[in-house]
Amino acid sequence: MKRRIYVDFDGVIMDTWPFFYEVLQENDYELYEKLINKSLTHDDDQKIIKILNGLDWKQVIDKSLPINNSLQELKELYESNLFEVSVLTHCNSEYEAMSKTNLIDKHIPGLNVIPVYRPLRKDEAVNPKGAILIDDYGKNLETWEEFGGIGVKFSIDNDKKYNFHQIDHISKIINIIEETEDDKYEDLELLETNA
C-alpha cells in the first residue's frame, strides 16, 4: 500500500496570500490587522469567509506565483508513482475549488484535488491515519496529528512555533518520509529487544 501524501494549495503550492492580504487591507484594514496579529474572533472568521467568497479566484490564481518551484516538484512527486498524492485544500466556494482544480489539471493532469468546504476540517474530509499532510497552517497540522496523521509544516521562514517536521520545498518530503520510516523501524527494534 502506498503512503498517502496530502498537499495544501494556498501557502504551499501557490502564494495566494499576498493577493488576499492586499484585498483585505483595501476593504477592511482593522480586520487585516487582526488577521496579521492572529487575534480573530469567530465573527471575524465569518467576515473573512465572506470576502474570500467574493474574490475572483481565477484572478487570484493568475496573479499568484508557485512557491519554490512547487508545481514542478509536486508533478515529480506525483509522477514517481511511489505515493498516493492528492491536493487537499480549504475552499469557500465551488468557484474557488474549480479555479484551483483547473490550475492543477493544467500543470499536473490526473492529480486528485480534494476541496474541503468550510467549516469542515481537513482531518474530517479524509482519513488522516498514517497519512502525511503538508500544510503552512499549524492548526490544520495539530488536528491532523491528533487523529493519527503526520503533520509537515511548510514554511519559508523556518517557523519554530510548532513542533512538526518542517520543509520549504515539496521535494524535501522524501527526507521526512525516510526519517519517519527509520523511526518506525527503530520502534520495532525496541519492541523486539524488550520482548
Residue 93 and residue 83: Cα distance in Å, rounded? 29
What residues make up the domain containing 38?
17-63
Same domain assignment for residues 136 and 150: yes
- Name the pLDDT band for 183 (thresholds 50, 70, 90): low
Residue 167 and residue 67 in contact, taking contact as beta carbons nearer than 8 Å: no
Asked if 90 contacts 139 with a C-beta cutoff of 8 angstroms, the reply is no
141: domain CATH number is 3.40.50.1000
Q: Is pTM, for the whole model, over 0.85?
A: yes
Considering the domain architecture, whether residues 9 and 55 belong to the same structural domain is answered as no
Q: What is the pLDDT of residues 36-87, one digit of tens each?
A: 888 888 898 888 888 888 889 999 999 999 999 999 999 999 999 999 999 9
Helical spans, DSSP H, in the chain = 17-27, 29-36, 42-54, 57-63, 70-79, 94-107, 122-125, 138-146, 173-194
Side chain identity at 27, as an amino acid letter? N
pLDDT at residue number 68? 95
Q: What is the pLDDT of residues 115-173, one digit of tens each?
A: 999 889 999 999 999 999 999 988 999 999 999 999 999 988 776 676 888 999 999 99
CA distance 79 to 119: 32
